[in-house]
Chains A and B, each alone.
Chain A
């Protein structure tokens, strides 16, 4: 029943990933001295579960590794071994190794060799003599028996002329056990005098094997008479030089293969409720159908009621379905503890990470795509934002920097903030830099917000020396691009010497949008509510024609460029005169635009359908939707429109 097994395998991998996250969390709290009474037990149980699964599916390396790990954890929770800092570090490394083993098993590739080294370390940790046990303990994990041999292999120079290849000998030896080979190249002459048909190399080998001497000799079968060979049992094992190099600090994100996250765990309660709703919907629909049979005018109120019922159920269904895709941000916030700690340590800084609002839920697609930009921002804050303890003390701040990650719902959006109490950014310097980079002209009047927004422009971030800006480093434009692509917005708030906060606004879901419907000519468009500032009727006096830039509308002393959607999309619009039509003011990148439309049709939630996958990318449009009457409406991309209007020279900035 091959098919069934593979389904369970996937489930095992998912469960294992979650168990590992739990283990890591608990280990980190252990390290921070916040271990609860059940912490050690919880960690043990995680390893135990993974071991059971590994054995069931026959993942050799994983099973052996978790077995040793579990033994150590068992002694830990029984108090026989002390949870020293070094031990906790070792256990954290084991978690990384286990992740790598799981990935290897999932992708059916060979387990990374590092697992054996870490196994040895765990063995050593286990060998620490314990207080006399009160009851018989599990015996030490079994290892393959083997003797070590020191072997010297010195082939005669004419070896190659007999058609022999020393590599094949080494290969045969390696198949008997674990072989460490050290080639002595001292006889190798320079390239000019080298004779390619002469063998200059000699080898010193160490072989750990359970095989008999005969078998070892057999590997040298045809070279015995043309080589000096000695095989001796090894001298007492030399202790391994130092501790095995720490498992490369591979970022935990890299160890998680993207392919495995395409399935998701959902609370069964959510699914049950969904099934119920479907049932109720079926019923409501059939009742409506019944009413339609033999319909008379008197039954109209009934019909209305039934339809209302259907609509209620559908909306709730939609809502529930969306919620199913929601996952709490803790799934990405979780990894930051480790990241911040490790990076801070590496840079010699002290940083504490506060997380709040981790239970805030976001659409799964959004969560996946915001993970990288967030990581970027956190790294930036640690790298450039927060100063070293010495610098901080000089500035009169406590030596430990504070980094705060917050998430909360606001309006129809989710807000995520990354705040630090570090250096902050100097607005004047940003402005100067921007002028230098040609992003703005010297005479431009920009609000503080707009100046901060300049940081996110491509071209700004290519600062040659990070220290020039003394604050955020490279890559902010990438962050902004990612957030924009999600239909969100990012803004920076900063005060020099006090710190910076990056605020990200994200829609609750990618697929459904709150929009304002409007009409231009015969076409219906949708503007995402998130981008709209207000809609106004414009008075003639507010409109000015600025030479070379087109019409500009002044609203509360602010000049806002006018965009005629009709002209931009080449449709005949009813309204040529702004004073006669309606103007919707939208905002992007800290700047405003005024869109001239014929009529506002109302607010509505629309389902976004991608234009790109069905047609092609169109500038100024992010997608399309089907309205209730079956017509299609295009969803405007404010960023695109801003760019298009700038290109047409309608903006009043360079």
Chain B
């Protein structure tokens, strides 16, 4: 082989070598970016996780507050649970008031009826007494008749003379009886008068005590019915509010369930980022190995232009902190003016 060919080969080799070195240098310049990129990704993922975790931490509390306020509204308005037993709340009060009113209504009606009955009783008593008076009139007639008989008997006796002694006795007897029966009937009449008078007084007393005027009863009934109607209306309003509260409660539950599902996506994000970081790391390992072997001994790594370029793009303290932790060097000076709230 000619010398020229040999020189050509060697020059070619040298050129390739130079190219390799250039390549190595270029790659080496960018290599430091890889770990930084990885670290930034991890840090970002961590921050995101923290932020979501904070929300998650407050989650339970938020839900409790929301639920409690809805429950409180229901409690205030409602009658509590199903079944009997007082459970506070406006609805329960409504129910009690309504019940009281209804009982009052029933009582009023009953009172009216009792009074009516009493009045009827009184009337029938008076009728009975009238009957007795009429009977007495009959008794009177009979006794008057007896008196006449007695008189006649006397007259006969006188006509008949001494043999009329018997007649005399009978006449005497009849006369006495007639007199007695007059006394009795007079006595009974007196009693009846008394009774009638007493009954009337009793009636007046009862009337003034217990029985209200009939028209007042009707008015009372009307008032109570109107009050009940008003309650009905108020109750219907309450029911509507309760129903609305119930609906809001339902909606809330649905929103909460959806939030629970959505929040879990953070985990997937973490995992995906982790996968990428791992890829970066293995890439870094794969590239740096041969570079290390080929690097001239004693040469410190030149400051990487690529890394500096990256550093200049930073806008946050956290970014600079991560950069410094991986590559060394002080963070930039802008940090004081930025306030970051997580």
Contact = CB atoms under 8 A, between A and B. Distances in A.
Interface of A: 2-3, 275-276, 279-280, 282-283, 286-287, 289-291, 299, 301-302, 305
A2 B125 contact: no
A2 B84 contact: yes
A282 B118 contact: yes
A473 B103 CA distance: 56
Given A3-B99, A286-B202, A275 B117 contact: yes
B205 interface: yes
B199 A276 contact: no
B194 A279 contact: no
A279 B121 contact: yes
A276 B121 CA distance: 8
Nearest to B122: A283
A282 B99 CA distance: 31
Interface in B79-128: 84, 99, 114, 117-118, 121-122, 125
B58 interface: no
Given A3-B99, A283-B125, A290 B198 contact: yes
Contact of B201 (A2, A290, A301, A305): A290
A280 B121 contact: yes
A286 B198 CA distance: 9
Contacts of A2: 84
Given A282-B206, A289-B202, 9 more contacts: A279-B117, A280-B121, A283-B118, A283-B121, A286-B202, A286-B205, A287-B195, A291-B198, A302-B195
Contacts of A283: 118, 121-122, 125, 199, 202
Interface of B: 84, 99, 114, 117-118, 121-122, 125, 191, 194-195, 198-199, 201-202, 205-206
A87 B194 CA distance: 74
A282 B206 CA distance: 10
Contact of B202 (A290, A302, A305): A290
B296 to A, nearest CB: 62
B191 A302 contact: yes
A309 to B, nearest CB: 10
A299 B118 CA distance: 26
A287 B191 contact: no
A275 B122 CA distance: 15
A560 B187 CA distance: 58
B199 A287 contact: yes
B140 to A, nearest CB: 21
A59 B167 CA distance: 91
Contacts of B195: 287, 302
Contacts of A305: 191
A464 to B, nearest CB: 54
A275 B202 CA distance: 19
Contacts of B125: 283
Which among A2, A290, A301 has the greatest number of chain B C-beta atoms within 10 A? A290
A287 B117 contact: no
A82 B307 CA distance: 105
Contacts of B199: 283, 287
Nearest to A3: B99
A276 B206 contact: no
Interface residues of A: mostly helix, strand, loop or mixed? helix
Contacts of B84: 2
A287 B117 CA distance: 17
A283 B99 CA distance: 33
B123 to A, nearest CB: 11
Contact of A279 (B118, B191, B198, B201): B118
A287 B118 contact: no
Nearest to B125: A283
24 contacts: A2-B84, A276-B117, A279-B114, A279-B121, A280-B121, A282-B118, A282-B206, A283-B121, A283-B122, A283-B125, A283-B199, A286-B205, A287-B198, A287-B199, A287-B202, A289-B202, A290-B198, A290-B201, A290-B202, A299-B194, A301-B191, A302-B191, A302-B194, A302-B195
Contacts of B202: 283, 286-287, 289-290
A156 B114 CA distance: 81
A276 B84 CA distance: 37
A280 B118 CA distance: 8
B72 to A, nearest CB: 24
Counting from the closest, the 5 A-B pairs by CB-CB distance are: A286-B202, A290-B198, A279-B121, A287-B198, A279-B117
A645 to B, nearest CB: 54
Contacts of B122: 283
Nearest to A286: B202
Nearest to A275: B117
A13 B53 CA distance: 61
Nearest to A299: B194
A280 B121 CA distance: 7
A275 B195 CA distance: 23
B206 A286 contact: yes
A275 B198 CA distance: 23
Nearest to B198: A290
A307 to B, nearest CB: 14
A287 B205 CA distance: 11
Nearest to A282: B118
A302 B190 CA distance: 10
A282 B195 CA distance: 15
A291 B117 CA distance: 23
B238 to A, nearest CB: 15
Contacts of A279: 114, 117-118, 121
Contacts of B118: 279, 282-283
A557 B146 CA distance: 63
Nearest to B79: A2
Nearest to B84: A2
Nearest to A283: B121
B220 to A, nearest CB: 22
B121 to A, nearest CB: 5
Contacts of B205: 286
B160 to A, nearest CB: 42
Nearest to B202: A286
A289 B117 CA distance: 21
Nearest to B191: A302
Contacts of A282: 118, 206
Contacts of B191: 301-302, 305
A301 B184 CA distance: 13
A301 B187 CA distance: 11
Contacts of B99: 3
A151 to B, nearest CB: 33
Contacts of B194: 299, 302
Contacts of A275: 117
Contacts of A3: 99
A2 B98 CA distance: 12
A2 B84 CA distance: 9
Nearest to B121: A279
A529 to B, nearest CB: 36
Contacts of A289: 202
A282 B207 CA distance: 13
A3 B205 CA distance: 38
A287 B122 CA distance: 12
A283 B199 CA distance: 8
Nearest to A272: B117
A290 B191 CA distance: 14
A340 to B, nearest CB: 44
A301 B199 CA distance: 17
A360 to B, nearest CB: 33
Nearest to A291: B198
A64 B32 CA distance: 83
Contacts of A287: 195, 198-199, 202
A513 to B, nearest CB: 33
Nearest to B118: A279
Contacts of B121: 276, 279-280, 283
Contacts of A276: 117, 121
Nearest to B195: A287
Nearest to A280: B121
Nearest to B206: A286
A279 B84 CA distance: 38
Nearest to B114: A279
